[in-house]
Structures are given as structure tokens and as C-alpha cells.
Copies of this chain bind each other. A is one copy, B any other.
């Protein structure tokens, strides 16, 4: 157990952008909300999963919707509180702590804003170890936990309690409602007991994000290469260094989908990298080689500062380093791959772990 203040939140936001693999919503909004809540209510308690009693009720808090909408329709923080209190009343049980459903993007930070307002601790872990676009794309689902009862709340004051036969139906009904409600809503979701959380959560991802953010910050202060630091912490690989040449994106059925093309700089001038994303980066490939495939993590970093760039932040001409990082082993099971592998997202590509793809390639470029 330790207390998180403003510096920790700043660092976590940088790590969240990296593990967000381009998606999960711009952490900036979540950071502002968390910083403001700390300003008002004081530092936040971070609990190691082992510190949570087996029978305590844990409820992740998250925003659902397209990142493009989230930026235009910033939540007040009230929606999350309403969702939480509605679920607490519906279950008739006190909630002991909250946590992120995903490590990555705005959803890593929003639980802090809620926790500060409600005086609740935050559990150091999440259900993805990265960001993904759908509600059933969590280890909680892989481990048979229910997304429901869950609550959706919008900024207008509309609320919805869902009780579905499985998490795929929860995703389907919540997605439809999110679009009706204006494109983004706050959720209280996957209520679970402490012992279920300990069995299923990916642990210590908030501390990992903090370490990533701190390393990038300290590397810049000491003139180290921040990207080397990130690769060390995440067991990652440099995939490509290039310049953004082409970007196509559109928001459809509540998702930000698209493709980015980068052309090589340095000695890979003749190569082009194609990135496919659906909120998050899902596939990185050149004409000849597959470099990294979901559920492994693909992040795009600014070549100068080492700072992560979201898919929304990708601009023509930007110089970037693309890195790949192995995902949590829970995603590399058959059930994991069928839930979040390339086939699920409609790509005719087989999943191969990033370390094997890198070992196969004659040469790591960049």
C-alpha cells in the first residue's frame, strides 16, 4: 500500500499512453481529471492485489466509447460516481476498491478520479495489461467472471443497469446504448470478489506504467535514450523507425478504425511499414515481414522525445519509432487468441509471438 500524488499520476499517464498501444483514449483527459481530484481530495491509496481481502467487492470503472468522441465530450466525473453508486445500491453491497479495466489510455487514469472523490483505494492491476476496444476483451472474461451487473451513466443523467447472459451480450447492448447516449459513457463493470480479482487480474500494471513514465522522464533529464529504457522495462523490440506518409481513419459503429503508412528513415529507406488500428494498433507489417500482431503490444513513440503517440495524435510527416512488446501470457492461450487475436479483428493473419517474429527476421531495422 502506498499513496500516489501528482508526480506519480504524471508518470502513470505516460506509461498508460504507451500500454494503450495508440488507443484507449488520450490519457491527457484522464490525467487532468485525476490531478484535479487529488488537488481537491488529497493523495490516493494504491493497493497491491495481495492486500485486498478475499471477500471484498472490487468494481472496475471505465469509460466506453470512441476516443474521438471522448476528446470532444469530456466527462465531469459525476457520471462515474453515479454509475458506481447505482451499482452499489443494485448489488446491495459496499464496494471496497476500484481498479482500471484496461492498462492504457484514459481508462488507466479515470479510476483515480473516482477513487479520490469517493475515498476508495485503487488496486494495482487491470484486466488487459494493455488497451483493447471491447468489454469482453479482459482476463476477467477469459477466467469466467461476469461483466454484469454493470451500470452505464451518461453526462445527461441517463443510467442503465445491464444483466446479461454473457459478456459478449454485455458488449453488444452497452455498445448500442453508448452510441445512442452520444458516443461515450462511464461504466461500473465486472464486479468481483477480492479472490476472483487476485486469480484473474493482470497484476501491478499501474506500477509498471509509473515505472515507464518515470524512466522516460529521467532518461530525458540524463540524456539517455528513453526508448532503450522502455524496451528494457517491457522486454520490447524496436520494429521500425520512419516518417508518417499516409493516414486513413474513420469513426464507425463507435470505433476509430484506420491504417497508417510510414516510410523508412536511416538505412531502411526503401521499406514501408503498415499499421492497422481499431482504437488500438493491431498489426505492424512491411511488404515482406510481419513484425508484431495483436495481442502483443505495438506502440508508436516520438523519435525525438520518446513520448507515446496515440492513433489520434499521428500526424503526416511525424518521425516515429515503432516498438513491439510481448503481451501477458493469459492472452497467448487459445481462448485468448480467439478473443483478441488478428482473426477476431478481421485480419487474415496468424498470431505469432513478437519475439519469434523478431528472431525470424534477418535483420531488425531502425
Contact = CB atoms under 8 A, between A and B. Distances in A.
Contact of A159 (B163, B172, B176, B180): B163
A316 to B, nearest CB: 37
Copies of this chain in its oligomeric complex: 2
Nearest to A163: B159
A117 to B, nearest CB: 21
A176 to B, nearest CB: 5
Contacts of A157: 164-165
Q: What is the predominant secondary structure among interface residues of chain A facing chain B?
A: mixed
A169 B161 contact: no
B180 A172 contact: yes
A90 interface: yes
A157 B172 CA distance: 14
A173 interface: yes
Interface string A132-158: 000000000000000000000000111
A164 B164 CA distance: 20
A188 B46 CA distance: 42
A192 B90 CA distance: 20
A160 B158 contact: no
A173 B161 contact: no
A90 B172 contact: no
A169 B165 contact: no
A161 B162 CA distance: 6
Interface in A161-212: 161-165, 169, 172-173, 176-177, 179-181
Contacts of A294: none
A278 interface: no
A163 to B, nearest CB: 4
A254 B159 CA distance: 22
Contacts of A107: none
A161 B164 contact: no
17 contacts: A156-B169, A157-B165, A158-B162, A158-B164, A158-B173, A159-B162, A159-B164, A160-B160, A160-B161, A160-B162, A160-B173, A161-B161, A172-B180, A173-B177, A173-B180, A176-B176, A176-B180
Given A157-B165, A160-B161, 14 more contacts: A86-B163, A156-B165, A158-B173, A160-B160, A160-B162, A160-B163, A160-B173, A161-B163, A173-B177, A176-B176, A176-B177, A176-B179, A176-B180, A177-B177
